[in-house]
Amino acid sequence: MAVTVWIGVFVIGGLGAVCRMLVDRVVSRRVRIGFPIGTLTVNVSGAFLLGLLSALALDPHIALLAGTAFVGAYTTFSTWMLETQRLAEEPRRPAAVLNIVVSVALGLFAVWLGQLLGTRLGGG
């Protein structure tokens, strides 16, 4: 793999991580409901974006940079699980279960919607 692709992964992955932090912060500050809505927003929007990218006929290097580097750094499984575990410990078990169910359901719907849009935009 070319050195430029690796540099792209570092740079674009860094951008994805910064975008995650910004989106989470903006959403969490505007919507204060005692629920990890920022992480939910990041992960659902990332699922949509990955679904969209997967349906487009992209060059493999572009797909690596966009999908793995950006979306991989943008979305956050570990934060989702940590926040869910903290909800369960507080104890707010119904909110913890809701976080899991809503995240998975909305994530799957977002991927499907992204793939649908990608296909209509001329993807594979």
Q: pLDDT tens-digit profile of 19-63?
A: 999 999 999 999 999 899 999 999 999 999 999 999 998 888 888
pTM, two decimals, is 0.91
Residues making up the binding site: 72, 75
Query: With pLDDT > 90 as the criterion, what percentage of the chain qualifies?
Result: 81
**Mean pLDDT across the stretch 94-106?**
97
Residues making up the binding site for Na(+): 72, 75
How many structural domains is the chain composed of?
1
Which residue range forms the structural domain that includes residue 74?
3-122
Q: What secondary structure does DSSP assign to 35-101, as a single string?
A: S-HHHHHHHHHHHHHHHHHHHS---HHHHIIIIIIIIHHHS-HHHHHHHHHHHHHTT-HHHHHHHHH
